[in-house]
Amino acid sequence: MSNETQSPHRRWLLLTPALTILTIAAAGPLLIVLVFSFLTPGDYGGVIWKFSADAWFNVFAERDFFDETVSFSDAHLSIFWRSVRLSLLTTIVAFLVGFPTAYFIATRRENRRNMWMLLIMVPFWTNLLIRTFAVMEIIRNEGVLNSVLIGLGLIDEPIQLLFTDFAVTLGMFYVYLPLMVLPIYASMERMDFSLVEAAYDLYASRWRVLRKVILPIVKPGVVAGSILVFIPSLGAYVTPRVLGGGKNLMMGNLIELQFGQGRNWPLGAALSITLLAVVMVALVFYVRSAGSEETPHG
Amino acid sequence: MIEISGLTKTFGSGDSAFTALKDVNVTIAENEFFTLLGPSGCGKTTLLRSIAGFVDPTSGSLTINGDDILSKAPYDRPVNTVFQNYALFPHLTVAENIGFGLEMQDRPKAEVQSVVKEMLELVQMAPMADRMTSQISGGQQQRVALARALAPKPKVLLLDEPLSALDFKLRKEMQIELKRLQHETGITFVFVTHDQEEALTMSDRIAVMNGGRILQIGGPREIYDHPAERFVADFIGDTNFVSADLKSVEGDAAEVHLPSGQAIEARSVAGGPTSGAVTIAVRPEHATLTAPGALLDGTLKNIVYFGTDTHYHIETEARSTFVIRQQNQPDSAEDHKVGEPVGISFNPGVAQVLRD
């Protein structure tokens, strides 16, 4: 084992660049955010270096303006819940579309697979804003979809699709689909397809081959894909901003609001930390439940 | 009983079309150990996969015990396959792999458990029941693959070169093991191999295939002693080919004139020529080295000592090489020298007239 013969000194040396970048670019800012969440907001943004727990208080509660009574507030939490809900929906739809797509590509001839993967990846390399506006162009009231439906006589008036939860979910699904297809395809391409034949041979119907053989074997890819779609969806900013209009806020927009118009940096910081906590909890929960199925027959 | 008639499979179309099976006709009896033997690309695996249901033949019919199975999906056919790479499910234990087929048939849990236990005993894998398939050796994986395919008690077991990945010693063991399992279970085995020795030692009958056709079907002895075509004679064991003149055929017996002018009795072949120029095949161990003036004469070109036997390479008067293989006796003195004129003789009936 080559890495065991390396001196510990040398190993640390190799790790130094990565550790330096992680410390400066990840741990440092996180620490700043955490500190800011316990400070007092400045009048024109920024913070005043004076301890205050108000931001954390405001995440979950509100003080009545007149009688100063404290009550539980779900204003922020409801946006959190919305974000989780839409992100989950996005992940599920991305899986339902991404899994068959990955299967299709993995079962093509070897020299064709890269071409199909390229087609999946091309949108991913396109600017996010452009892609989001493209979705907007399709689903807005005077857009392609409504025009076609009216032209076909299927509807009389345009359906309001833009600025709805549907629009936000559709946009995020479209933007993050490659992140679902890629890891599932990677594990499916490694899968030995004679296992599928073996299962057919052993009296498994198509549905059971999928459930009992293919899914368990490509599960690492499905887990990775779901995480890769769910987490950026949860913090999505551009897509809900453009497609959700002003009303359909998600966590990313709420946080941005505090640093911008809201001029309440500590609250923005506290919300950011909360988002991070939600992601962590969701991750631990998901990975655990996905891992526990590994021994289905006990 | 498997009845296959007129089975043809063409892959692709137009100029790139490739015919993997050409009008294959064969009947495989109940409880038979039937081997499909041939070089790679001869169509043996395509034929096996047609029976399993992974290849959809272009034309022809295929029945098992009278039931047409070509219209059935692989999971509706009463056959199971032992795959060349075993194709064990990596996410299941040894016992779960063996029970997979039974579970897919929705057999009661108690039955699944008892059959799995029985199968584990049969292939001597009981102590490994709860291991993952990645934690056992190649030979053990082979046994699990066998047990998994046998567990649902199929009417026919298909084996696709199952021993090719094993080392020599293990392969010998598994050959005996496979014969034992076939005997104990009474299931029809259809075995695909390119290894002629494997085919000869294990099979009840062998079908030799080449270019998508079955060239000859027969017992190991018949295939070896009386090959019908040049390809069969060449593919199985070593053979000397001698040009000769066929004079007459009467049933099995043929009168053949050798280049030396001598007449011998050879064995004729069904559907073969009845007169004219033919090729006859003589196995090296069926011929003996004698003094000149025998059936064929020539010059001794080379003597190769192999321990159990000695090979004599003789250049005949027709300028072709004839090999004689003679078993060595203890402490026998070498009484032949390279370069000396020698004769070749063989008994009536050992020479086989070939079809082509």
Domain ranges of chain A: 75-267
What token pair was written down for B337?
A: 């020298």
Distance of alpha carbon B9 from the chain centroid: 21
Distance (Å) of CA B11 to CA A205, B20, B70: 26, 7, 17
Cβ of A200 within 8 Å of Cβ of B53? The answer is yes
Cβ contacts of B294 within 8 Å, gap of 6 or more = B343, B344, B345
Chain B contacts to A (CB-CB under 8 A): 52-54, 73-76, 79-81, 83, 85, 87-91, 96, 100-101, 104-105, 148-149, 152
Residue A43 has pLDDT above 90, yes or no: no
Residues of chain A contacting residue B87, judged by C-beta atoms under 8 Å apart: 192, 194-195, 197-198
Max intra-chain CA distance, chain A: 75
Burial A124-159 (b: 16+ CB within 10 A, else e): eeeebeebbeebbebbbeebeebeeeeeeeeeeebe
Residue B7, H or E segment: strand B2-11
Cβ of A200 within 8 Å of Cβ of B96? The answer is no
Give the distance from residue B26's alpha carbon to the nearest chain A alpha carbon, in angstroms. 23
Which residue shows structure tokens 């192999």? B306
Contact (Cβ atoms closer than 8 angstroms) between residue B61 and residue B6: yes
Encoded amino acid at B125, one letter: M
A193 → chain B, closest CA residue = B87
Burial B16-33 (b: 16+ CB within 10 A, else e): eeebbbeebebebeeebb
Contact (Cβ atoms closer than 8 angstroms) between residue B210 and residue B235: yes
Strand partners, B132: B93
Max intra-chain CA distance, chain B: 76
Distance CA B2, CA B175 (A): 23
Cβ of A208 within 8 Å of Cβ of B104? The answer is yes
Instruction: Give the domain A75-267 fold.
Output: MetI-like fold (1.10.3720)
Residues of chain A contacting residue B104, judged by C-beta atoms under 8 Å apart: 199, 202-205, 208, 212
Interface with chain B: mutation pick from A187, A188, A195, A202, highest number of B CBs within 10 Å: A202
Q: What mean pLDDT do residues A131-150 have?
A: 91
Q: Which tens digits make up the pLDDT trace of B135-180?
A: 999 889 999 999 999 999 999 999 999 988 888 888 888 899 899 9
Output the pLDDT for position A297: 41
Cβ of B75 within 8 Å of Cβ of A204? The answer is yes
From the list A200, A216, A297, the residue facing B75 with the nearest CB is: A200
> For chain B, how many residues are written?
356
Distance (Å) of CA B349 to CA B192, B215, B295: 31, 22, 14
Strand B253-257 versus strand B287-290 pairing type? unpaired
Output the pLDDT for position A298: 33
Cβ of A197 within 8 Å of Cβ of B83? The answer is yes
What token pair was written down for B209?
A: 């295939």
Which residue shows structure tokens 């019919």? B61
Give the distance from residue B105's alpha carbon to the nearest chain A alpha carbon, in angstroms. 6
Contact (Cβ atoms closer than 8 angstroms) between residue B48 and residue B36: yes
Kindly report the backbone phi and psi dihedral angles of residue B348, in degrees, each rounded to the nearest multiple of 5, phi listed first: -60, 140
Give the distance from residue B5's alpha carbon to the nearest chain A alpha carbon, in angstroms. 23
What token pair was written down for B202?
A: 């294990």
B81 → chain A, closest CA residue = A201
Distance CA A142, CA A161 (A): 11
Sketch out chain B's domains with CATH numbers.
2-225 (3.40.50.300), 238-353 (2.40.50.140)
Q: Which class for B63: exposed (0-12), middle (13-18), buried (19 or more C-beta within 10 A)? A: middle
Contact (Cβ atoms closer than 8 angstroms) between residue A103 and residue A188: yes
Q: How many CB pairs under 8 A join A and B?
A: 64
Cβ of B83 within 8 Å of Cβ of A198? The answer is yes
Distance CA B329, CA A174 (A): 82
DSSP assigned state of A191? S
Nearest to A107 by CA among A226, A21, A197, A37: A197
Distance of alpha carbon B159 from the chain centroid: 12
Distance CA B93, CA B129 (A): 7
* CA atoms lying within 13 Å on the CB side of residue B20: 19
Residue A6 pLDDT level (bands cut at 50, 70, 90): low
From the list B52, B88, B89, the residue facing A201 with the nearest CB is: B52
Residue A286 pLDDT level (bands cut at 50, 70, 90): confident
Positive or negative, the CA dihedral A185, A186, A189, A192 is negative
ipTM of predicted assembly, 2 dp? 0.84
Strand B33-37 versus strand B188-193 pairing type? parallel
Nearest to B189 by CA among B79, B87, B296: B79
Cβ contacts of B63 within 8 Å, gap of 6 or more = B2, B3, B69
Cβ contacts of B209 within 8 Å, gap of 6 or more = B36, B37, B38, B42, B43, B44, B47, B215
Give, in degrees to the nearest 5, the angle at Cα A260 between A254 and A261.
90
Q: What is the pLDDT along chain B (356 residues), one digit of tens a residue?
A: 999 999 999 998 888 889 999 999 999 999 999 999 999 999 999 999 999 999 999 999 999 999 999 999 999 999 999 999 999 999 999 999 999 999 999 999 999 999 999 999 988 899 999 999 999 998 899 999 999 999 999 999 999 999 888 888 888 888 998 999 899 889 999 999 999 999 999 999 999 999 999 999 999 999 999 999 999 999 999 999 999 999 999 888 999 999 888 899 999 988 888 889 999 999 999 999 998 888 999 999 999 998 889 999 999 987 889 999 999 888 777 778 899 999 999 988 899 999 87
Interface with chain B: mutation pick from A203, A207, A210, A213, highest number of B CBs within 10 Å: A203
Cβ of B87 within 8 Å of Cβ of A217? The answer is no
Distance CA B203, CA A151 (A): 71
Output the pLDDT for position A294: 47
pTM attached to this predicted model: 0.82
Distance CA B261, CA A119 (A): 75
Q: What dihedral do alpha carbons A260, A261, A262, A263 form, nearest 10°? A: 60
Give the count of beta carbons closer than 10 Å to the beta carbon of residue A264: 21
Nearest to A134 by CA among A164, A167, A91: A167
A216 → chain B, closest CA residue = B91
Q: Which tens digits make up the pLDDT trace of A87-98?
A: 999 999 999 999
Residue A295 has pLDDT above 60, yes or no: no
From the list A202, A205, A217, the residue facing B100 with the nearest CB is: A202
Beta strands in B156-262 (DSSP E): 156-160, 188-193, 205-210, 213-218, 240-250, 253-257
Interface with chain B: mutation pick from A192, A196, A201, A212, highest number of B CBs within 10 Å: A201
Distance CA A218, CA A272 (A): 33
What token pair was written down for A203?
A: 């009296």
Output the pLDDT for position A293: 52
Residue A48, H or E segment: strand A47-51
DSSP assigned state of B18? E
Q: What mean pLDDT do residues A102-114 have?
A: 93
Residue A296 has pLDDT above 50, yes or no: no
Distance CA B356, CA B353 (A): 9
What token pair was written down for A68?
A: 């100063």
Q: Which tens digits make up the pLDDT trace of A159-182?
A: 888 998 999 999 999 999 999 999
Distance CA B243, CA B241 (A): 7
Contact (Cβ atoms closer than 8 angstroms) between residue B355 and residue B271: yes
Cβ of B75 within 8 Å of Cβ of A213? The answer is no
DSSP assigned state of B134? G
Contact (Cβ atoms closer than 8 angstroms) between residue B223 and residue B202: no
Cβ of A216 within 8 Å of Cβ of B80? The answer is no
Give the distance from residue B153's alpha carbon to the nearest chain A alpha carbon, in angstroms. 11
B96 → chain A, closest CA residue = A297
Interface with chain A: mutation pick from B45, B100, B160, highest number of A CBs within 10 Å: B100
Cβ of A199 within 8 Å of Cβ of B53? The answer is no
Chain A contacts to B (CB-CB under 8 A): 192, 194-195, 197-205, 208, 212-213, 216-217, 294, 297
Nearest to B94 by CA among B124, B126, B133, B127: B133
